[in-house]
Amino acid sequence: MGTIVIRSAEIVDSTSELNGKIRSILIENGIIKKISDKELSADTVIEAKGMKVSLGWMDMRVTTGDPGHEYKEDLNSACNAAMQGGFTAIAVLPNTTPPMQSKESVEYVKGKTREKLVDVYPIAALTLNNKGEELTEILDMNASGAIAFSDGVKPIWHSDLLLRALLYMQPINAQLIVHAEDKYLSHGGQMNEGKTSTMLGLKGIPKLSEQIMVDRDLSILEYTGGKIHFAHISSPKSLELIKEAKKKGLNVTCDIASYQLALDDTMLSSFDSNLKVNPPLRSKRDIDVFWKYINDGTVDVIVSDHIPQDTECKQLEFDQADFGMIGLETMFSVVNTYNTKIELAKIIEKITVAPRAVLNINVPQLKEGAKANLTVFDTEKEWILSAADLRSKSVNTPFIGKKMKGRAVAVINNNQLTYVR
């Protein structure tokens, strides 16, 4: 690849003494050779004056259709979408066909992505066929490289199975990731239960559906020990429960989807099925609370919750359309556009250090002698998302045609450089 210089970028890394400093970074053979306040030269120069550089971003909640539904998204297109969004690492969920529930399926993901710029980490199925009835071969998949276990977009409804999983996973220090949803309370629901759902005549999904499962899971965690990560939390009460559990010393973490920080349930009056997600978009008042819990550290990680769906799954009557939106290409831009209160370094920490810490992955370092795993980005660039910007195979996003502020410029990892176009 030759030598690369990122010239005159502001370093954004809350773990580094260089945080907030403007520096040039020389990279040779994939290694950071020099960080200097002087102008450096190289074969390739990224003129980054007025821009930022951070550790490479990670999204720990990505769904692909590989194997089984590659027409929606395969591992290659997911990596391309990740680079377009500024990510150098993603963790992929087990909700494929068949599910990722054997050591062979874990090795398939690792083998297919081994030479990529983007590091791809498999999250394996906790239960057979994600049905929540019988545990998978956790030890075998962990030995093959599964970094966490989850039923992905499906809840762990069986409380005794959850208890046994927490006990079983403790000796290998494995991370359990749960989608908190009581399917009996949410059954048939299309959107947030509230004034708008009543006006539109759509069955609502109450926050209670999430809260009751968070409360149950925390009670079981307190009983068993171990650790739980709650995915895409969408209820202020859930976050309050998690905050209290952290104060009690329980090993609990959580994330929130970027779109929950920008979109609210009143927008569904358009019946745009790209806004149909699970958990659903909540109220404007809830969004303010979400930002508060990001700022105080209750929310550990921000994710895209990338769920590609083809047009046949989305261009239907609203109640027939599938849940999910893509988000890899827009995640940072959405957060940056709608953030008015939180310092940038704290946001970046939640998409760099925090997801890797939750998943027990080595965190890159921005220092001389370290492997270059970096994202260059411009927080001030204003742009309008078009379908041509997307590298995903699917286009199910409500942000097409929307003006946004901030986007990635380039990503560097595994001795490879890609510019975001």
* Listed residue (348, 197, 161) closest to 281, CA to CA: 197
Active site residue: 305, 310, 378, 389, which one? 305
For residue 182, the one-letter residue type is D
140 catalytic, yes or no? no
DSSP alpha helices (H): ranges in 236-386?
236-247, 284-295, 311-314, 331-338, 344-349, 353-358
Cβ-count burial 278-296 (b if 16+ within 10 Å, e if not): bbbbbbeebbebbbebbee
Residue 132 backbone class (left: φ over 0; alpha: ψ -120 to 50; beta: rest): left
53 has which bridge partners? 11, 376
Q: 46 by DSSP, 3-state: which?
A: strand
Residue 374 is encoded by which pair of tokens? 């970096």
Q: What are phi and psi of 384, to 5 degrees?
A: -115, 125
- Give DSSP secondary structure letters for 59-102: EEEE---TTT-TTT--HHHHHHHHHHTTEEEEEE-S-SSS-S-S
- Annotated catalytic residues are 305
